Amino acid sequence: MMQIQGVDIQPLDGLKVIDVSSFLAGPFCSTQLAEFGADVVKLEMPKVGDALRRFGSITPHGDSLPWLSETRNKKSATLDLRTPEGAELLKALIRDADVLVENFQPGTLEKWGLGWDVLKEVNPRLIMVRISGYGQTGPYSPRPGFGRIGNAFGGLSYLAGYPDRPPVTPGSATIPDYLAGLYGALGVLLCIQALAKTGRGQVVDIGLYEPIFRILDELAPSYHMKGYVRERMGPGTVNVVPHSHYPTKDKKWVAIACTNDKIFERLALAMGVPEWGGSGKWGTITQREAERSQVDEYVGVWTAQRTREEVLSTCESFQIPCGSVYAIDEIFEDPQYAARENIKYMKDSHGDTHAIPNLVPRLSDTPGKIRSLGPSLGQHNDEIFSSRLGLSKERIAELKAKGVI
């Protein structure tokens, strides 16, 4: 890590973020900022806290694993925004903040007197990230939304599974939450650049379904151009073949990706049937698409006669993109994951060690850092309300007695 006079330098040092969001999309957005130096204060409902604290596997001490992993590097303070005093305290924090992250249903903050029209007057340089099911505008904006709805409405769920079976969950119901959080963090970085030019803050508005729709390659332009409605293809991939998952002799699976004719020519050579590639019967993608099931079947027969390591080794020697279809136990045993330190081992406040995904991306000179796992509820109340806002012990006790903090 880059140092100046013994001080660690991170890209977002000095950036002050207030996170009033809950569950996953908004919190993941601010976590990305916290991992690269931002000072993130997470405000939660008194006594109750974020629902993410109770979601997923629970440790013996009562913390959820998603909470510990996905709210790392943050400070926790409690504040009931629904109360007039709570709203005023948020405004006080906003005056000295750079970013506010929220993911309430549209209209909720406005109902509490904390909409953008109010907050931009409190701090004209404020950047406000707003993540909701359908965004802040449009006929569906008032509707509640979760990741599963984002997958479905965004078009991904329809594509997941086999053509003769119902749509399935595309890996994880929370993909939209993570993607929306990433786009939210990107939005903050873009707004910081704009702020330097205009002197004004602005709103980053994201609907959970929008990042899903954005990443579906040619789904939209293909439909517009030729009316093509892509259906479920199992493990196959539109426009390319062989590009799927194939069984191995030792009951494992491998992914092979022949994204162009040259790669298939190398695969045909590796399989001992060079006449299939080049100017042969399956040398072009058009020829392979016309007989997709046969191509996949032959590749599957070839892989099934070999162990996974044999398939991987052969494909590597012929420069054919091929990888293991891993379960999580295999990930923990893999030397590539170990070499890249993709799994980070951290102790929580009780001294228990947890394995969490390490941060992404890795920067050569000013890398991010995981300093702590998810905080306990209200752990930093004194620091936030006393040191930052200058409230007296008596005032803090009064607000606590009233349920404001």
Q: Which of 39, 177, 205, 296 is catalytic?
A: 177
Q: Residue 96 is which amino acid?
A: D
Residue 388 Cα distances to 60, 95, 195, 320, angstroms:
33, 11, 24, 57
Counting beta carbons within 10 angstroms of the beta carbon of residue 369, is it exposed (0 to 12), middle (13 to 18) or buried (19 or more)? Answer: middle
Q: What is the per-residue DSSP string for 309-370? A: HHHHHHHHHTT--EEE---HHHHHH-HHHHHHT-EEEEE-TTS-EEEEEPPSS--SSS----
Return the bridge partners of 229, or none.
none
Q: Helices 261-270 and 308-317, interaxial angle, to 10°?
A: 120
| Per-residue tokens: 225 | 């151009």
Establish whether 261 is a catalytic residue.
no
In terms of phi and psi (left: phi > 0; alpha: psi -120 to 50; beta: otherwise), the region of 47 is left
Whole-number Å distance between alpha carbons of 112 and 84: 8
**Could you say which DSSP state residue 274 is in?**
G
| Torsion on CA atoms 262, 290, 255, 251, rounded to nearest 10 | -130
Q: Helices 175-198 and 147-154, interaxial angle, to 10°?
A: 90
Tokens 């977002």 belong to residue: 12
Cβ-proximal residues to 125 (8 Å cutoff; 6+ apart), any chain: 98, 195, 199, 200, 201
Whole-number Å distance between alpha carbons of 240 and 244: 9
Whole-number Å distance between alpha carbons of 54 and 113: 29
Q: Helices 25-34 and 175-198, interaxial angle, to 10°?
A: 50
From edge to edge, which strands make up the β-sheet containing 243-247? 243-247, 253-257, 322-324
Counting beta carbons within 10 angstroms of the beta carbon of residue 403, is it exposed (0 to 12), middle (13 to 18) or buried (19 or more)? Answer: middle
Alpha helix segments (H runs only) across 164-307: 175-198, 209-214, 219-226, 261-270, 285-290, 292-304
Which residues are designated catalytic? 177
